[in-house]
Chains A and B, each alone.
Chain A
Amino acid sequence: MKSDSPMLLIGIGTAGCAMARGVGRAFGEDIRCVLVDTDATSGEAGGDFVLIGGDRLSGRGAGGNIVAGRLAAEVSIRMIDDRLEDVRLAVIVTALGGGTGGGATLEAAKHLAAHGIPSVVFATTPFVFEGDDRQRNSRGVMTMIEDAANATFFLPLDKLIGDTDNMADALRRAVDTVASGVTLFWRLVEKPGYIRLDTERLRHLLAGAGRGRFAAVTVQGPGRAAEAVDRLMRSEMLAASSGPVKSALCGILAGDDLLLSEVGTVADGVRNAFGGLSFDLATVNDEATFSGRLSVVVMLFEAGTRAEGETASGSVMGSRRRRTGKGVLGVGPSGRGRFKNAEPTVWRDEDLDIPTFIRKNLSLDF
């Protein structure tokens, strides 16, 4: 595991762990990464694996139960603490719809915020054909994750599927898409090109970003810059979903053959296509990976999802944003929830302010 990077990649849940490994492959080098799951079999493929909810779930997974996944993380997410040293930005990859992806991601984002580490979440949402329960699981937790993390990208799997894709193709495409977005951060920081974006600027940019959408295209040959812009403009992944763009981050990844005129074409095209109050551009110069090719990754953050300067809970950047007047109760790492500031009630070494069903490891039949 590479340990000197200021960024940490966290894969959560079985699919999240798989995506994190895919990110590592896409980056092509060792990447600072930890894999977190309730299912012990996820660790068999290697990597720095942390099994959570061990006593409660015995390594058998959360069984699609989002509460079980959340509780597992709540009691064991601190197991990743020794991996958080000197981390300035954490990127979480996961899949919503199941138990661990949705439940543990929420707790992980809260935990990172408590440590003052901004987090960016890339999460796929289920295919429609996966059924109402998984869709409901996904919808129910998205807002909460959005509230806990600094920046979120929710990627509907239905939008990633091509007309001729089989299941394996669709999932591979999902992994590739997530990897293209996630690796952008590593490339921007570790392989900067003509226009740099350092970790602190990236951290500041993402700290108040809120919900975003992103797309990546790779083209080659003559006119590749214009074609990249054209394909981005037609990308369903960047189609407006809930509001106008507040800010944009554009990364151009290329080899030594990148021309400044191409940078100008992409920057102008993206800015004109998507607008936004602020626009950050960075280039990556990686001959080994991009020789002859031009990849453009665009991240758009929507206005209204997070006010200027506001950040996720516990962030070093500011105080918690309240999404609604009567928000969902935050229980936090301690589990004491709304009693966290009250004198505790302890009986036989148990804190009775923590919900009984948690302390008794009761399974809830949802």
Chain B
Amino acid sequence: MNNIYAALELGTTRTVLAIGEAETGGRLKVTCHAETPSAGVRKSQILNIQDATQSIRSVLREIERKQEASGAKITIGNAFLVVSGQHVRADPFSAPVQVEGARVTAEDMEAAIRAAHSMPTSRDRELLDIVEQDYVLDSMGGIPSPKGMAGRLLRLNTLHVHGDRNRIQDARTAADAAHLEIRDPLFATTCAAEAVLEDHERKNGVLLIDLGGGSTGYAVYSDGYLAAMEVIGVGGDHVTNDIAHAFQTTNTQAEGLKIREASATVGGDDGASARVRVDPGENTLLDNRTISRRALNVVVNARLLELFTVIRERLEELDLVHRLHAGVVLVGGGARMRNIDALAEQAFGASVRPGRPIHVDGLDEEPFAPSYAAIAGALLYAHRNYEEKSILDGLLGRFFSR
């Protein structure tokens, strides 16, 4: 049997579970994935463990159903956890090492890597990833590989990505209660980048934006490595909340308006009716109620433009905004929003494309693959970086093979 991995994404609006299997040639294929609505999660953080556990149980049942339908026999006992939320941060770190001889050797580079990985993580944080950037030899930076170069002090720049230990533990607790062991937490945005970005984009400068339900992560790659990342605690849930507030609707009605009718840009609604009907749902008082399409789009546009403006201003502070020569890539559920690409073009002054998981197979039939970029990337990341461990191993294991 080839290596098989599972990944769990416990999001604000949906819970996703996916199984990936290594293919010959080193690629990875998503063989099965399931998605169910989330409960007990707000702004990418668990507020109710019982509800979150129920969400995980539901998605386990759903993937079980899909597996049975396809005749597969796989037990999921453990999974990687895809983590997002504004508690995730990245800190730069590097530590100089003395170059032993006249020129940098492989051993010197290994010593620099060990030194860069030596930063302790505080007790309230959990390390998600150490992203290696460029080498610095004496005062010269931006070196991808210093082997053979002359110098005295060598260091490797790194970004230490970490999250709130308690928030991650809450997800573990919820998964444990659903009899699913969490192997390691992986950061959603860098996972998504793993799945959707081309090497030439990383070299030329690209901004990846992961528009989640409860938060939005972004990552900037320049000169081939991760230059900056951050998570902002604003996501599609905020768009829904704004609509509900503006038009006095229920959350369900607002979500429907967002998905079916709203546009990220205002104007240019060719042929669209000027007014939009609000699904009355259970509220018969609102039967046949309509709202202005333009007003709806003003509300949505204001929120999303503000989100992009926050990101742009952060990139300006880091002097990265003019290095996005390969443009902007949008992933996550929010990337489905109508005209979101046009708004991003306007905000960043760069070309924009949806981020399909091009380095992972098996999602070709998926109607909107960019919303699975993070979980597909997590499987790919696990495939590339973790030693084989059967997903049958687990606390109790969920047995549904016949």
Contacts and interface: CB of A to CB of B under 8 A. Distances in A.
B250 A352 contact: no
A324 B282 CA distance: 8
Given A345-B233, A355-B299, A364-B295, A329 B310 contact: no
Given A324-B282, A337-B241, A356-B303, A364 B251 contact: no
B306 to A, nearest CB: 5
Interface residue SS majority, chain A? loop
B241 A355 contact: yes
A30 interface: no
A288 interface: no
A8 B285 CA distance: 32
Interface string B290-301: 011011001100
Contacts of B291: 366
Interface in A62-99: 67
Given A143-B285, A326-B281, A366-B292, A352 B233 contact: yes
A366 B248 CA distance: 12
Nearest to A355: B242
B250 A365 contact: no
Interface in B87-135: 87
A140 interface: yes
A148 to B, nearest CB: 13
B104 to A, nearest CB: 42
Nearest to B293: A365
Interface in A215-241: none
Given A329-B241, A357-B246, A366-B292, A338 B251 contact: yes
B246 A67 contact: yes
Interface string B226-268: 0000001110011001101111111110100000000000000
Contacts of A341: 42, 47
Interface in A326-366: 326-329, 331, 335, 337-339, 341-345, 347, 352-353, 355-358, 360, 362, 364-366
Given A337-B241, A339-B42, A345-B234, A357 B298 contact: yes
A298 to B, nearest CB: 28
A139 B45 contact: no
A230 to B, nearest CB: 36
Given A342-B43, A366-B292, A328 B241 contact: no
A331 B244 CA distance: 9
A97 to B, nearest CB: 15
Interface string B28-50: 00000000000000110101000
Interface string A300-339: 0000000000000000000000001111110100010111
A360 B45 contact: no
Contact of B242 (A326, A344, A357, A366): A357
B248 A328 contact: yes
A120 B117 CA distance: 65
B294 A365 contact: yes
B11 to A, nearest CB: 14
Contacts, number: 111
A324 B283 contact: yes
Contacts of A344: 233
B298 A345 contact: no
B72 interface: no
A341 B293 CA distance: 31
Contact of B245 (A331, A342, A347): A331
A141 B237 CA distance: 24
B248 A140 contact: yes
B251 A326 contact: yes
B249 A328 contact: yes
B248 A144 contact: yes
Contacts of A353: 233-234, 238
B252 A342 contact: no
A159 interface: no
A358 B246 CA distance: 9
B342 interface: no
A136 interface: yes
B45 A342 contact: yes
A63 to B, nearest CB: 14
A338 B233 contact: no
A360 B307 CA distance: 13
By Cβ-Cβ distance, the 3 closest A-B pairs, closest first, are A345-B233, A355-B242, A364-B295
23 contacts: A67-B246, A140-B285, A143-B285, A324-B282, A326-B251, A329-B250, A329-B251, A331-B245, A337-B245, A338-B42, A338-B251, A343-B233, A345-B86, A345-B234, A353-B238, A355-B245, A355-B246, A356-B302, A356-B303, A356-B306, A357-B242, A364-B246, A366-B292
Interface of B: 42-43, 45, 47, 86-87, 232-234, 237-238, 241-242, 244-252, 254, 281-283, 285-286, 289, 291-292, 294-295, 298-299, 302-303, 306, 310
Given A352-B232, A357-B246, 18 more contacts: A141-B248, A325-B282, A328-B283, A339-B43, A342-B43, A342-B233, A343-B87, A352-B233, A353-B238, A355-B238, A355-B242, A356-B242, A357-B303, A362-B298, A362-B302, A364-B295, A364-B299, A365-B294
